[in-house]
Structure 1
């Protein structure tokens, strides 16, 4: 951003809750045309949210063109380039900031289909409005999972101060990807999940080495209901209140390991332990490798 350039409008929205006091807050800049990387990072650091989203015009071939922002029209004008910054660095994909941005756009240009070009790939988002509540559902890039080396798992558990015996043996530790990489670890009890006091620097170092965005900690309440928490030290945040990218990765993980049916709707509760309850809906469809993550959103005044 040049010295004389006007400061863009910075919006604040929460995702995965219809209440501003719930879910995960994100900064949203609907027209970041005049911002360079340093300016976007500075705004994200100033806001202090786990991520902030910045929109510019879409790349050639994605649909339309022209200036991003609240004045964008329908049709081709509903495609955008989106970038995500934590207070420390850019991240390739962020689910909750995508949902927050989609809700912010819907309030200005109406519900409908959006397309976001992210560093991780193209992410469509469907937005609906009913009874004054706006709901957005993103479709992830194609996901995959991979095993984690024993030494790396031991280091993660040591950083978390989780004994291996506290893991749920039905949920093998894996690294899962659906736009960003997350280490999935399942707690055997809700009490284990609730007791989160980890070594920030130690976990951050491991996550940088493994290129992880968060650690997805889960506890299964019932067949389709889970409680989750996401340490996020690489973003400069102790814990993310509601994590759409990790929810997508977890859906892919659970399906690939046969822990849920190929056709399934999962409910993930997150943020309760932080006093910011949110709800993420993860939809899996047979024959569709991608994962669909939806939730409500609200503006933070």
Structure 2
């Protein structure tokens, strides 16, 4: 830490679960005004979570209800990321416990993210609205390298889901497994996949398997963040929502359920909502304090 003042208060929350042993844990610093970049990275590294959120006052000119608009930055143990869904949920739950449910506005490096917090029967739920997404093709050589790093034969992919890079605040390579067994068997070359992801500016690889028309199981290798696997990934869920809409794999109006973390023993549930005529994707889930 380079600051000479007291250590920042860090609170810990899990996102996309209503139990403390599920979902994806994140650290939240509700007042990071005294921290510089190296401080925030040091806090994130000490916590060891896939990401942590750092809040400061909003930039000048950003509209929003006073006291409910913030600048937010996200750090993994190894680097800053432009946007993180689960740390957004964690930060919103932390704020709701202090200032009450309602609407929030987060100014992130990816853009402005509206957030809505509700509470029912003691459970706090958060829904974020992504920045405008887009989909990119991936070069054949890069796809071949990704599959080699994962040790996934191309024949194990679901042909209904073409490999693509999807963005809704951060970039994710979407690969669909043909079977649940393929998704469950994840033992990849960490350094090799990390190198490819750095070259393609990817945050995670979004591995998916379709159980029903609207229910998916997902996993997210995250070597660029210094983490083997992310337990619940809101940014990737938003990107995936944009992806399935792009290819007409779900109706224009759809509510999808993504199950993530089961293979890690930290089950989480993410809700992805698509609305006809609105390019932005909504991702929601429960959250709670874990310490």
Shift in alpha-carbon separation, 1:191–1:58, aligned structure 2, 3 A:
same
Q: Which residue of 1 aligns with 2:53?
A: 53
Shift in alpha-carbon separation, 1:117–1:107, aligned structure 2, 3 A:
same
Q: 1:57-90 deviations in whole A, cap 9, x for unaligned?
A: 00011136xxxxxxxxxx3210000000000000
Give the match's secondary structure for 2:42: helix
Q: Which residue of 2 aligns with 1:68?
A: none
Aligned residue among 200, 203, 207 for 2:190: 200
Shift in alpha-carbon separation, 1:2–1:193, aligned structure 2, 3 A:
closer
Q: Which residue of 1 aligns with 2:223?
A: 233
| TM-score, with length taken from structure 1 | 0.96
Is this contact kept in 1: 2:3–2:39, CA < 8 A?
no
> What root-mean-square deviation, in Å, do the aligned CA atoms of Structure 1 and Structure 2 show?
0.8
Give the match's secondary structure for 1:209: helix
Q: Which residue of 2 aligns with 1:98?
A: 88
Instruction: Point out 4+ residue stretches in structure 1 off by more than 2 angstroms.
Output: 1-4
Give the match's secondary structure for 1:250: helix
Aligned residue among 127, 135, 139 for 1:149: 139
Q: What are the ranges of 5 or more consecutive residues in structure 1 without an aligned counterpart?
A: 65-74
Is this contact kept in 1: 2:2–2:39, CA < 8 A?
no
* Correspondences of 1:260-299 after superposition (within 5 Å): 260-299=250-289
Give the match's secondary structure for 1:40: helix
Give the Cα separation in 2 of the matches to 1:27 and 1:118. Answer: 17
Is this contact kept in 2: 1:125–1:136, CA < 8 A?
yes
| TM-score, with length taken from structure 2 | 0.99
* Correspondences of 1:204-215 after superposition (within 5 Å): 204-215=194-205
Q: Which residue of 2 aligns with 1:16?
A: 16
Is this contact kept in 1: 2:50–2:76, CA < 8 A?
yes
Is this contact kept in 2: 1:63–1:77, CA < 8 A?
no
Q: Which residue of 1 aligns with 2:171?
A: 181
Give the Cα separation in 2 of the matches to 1:33 and 1:3. Answer: 11
Matched, 1:163 2:153: yes
> How many residues are treated as equivalent by the alignment?
291
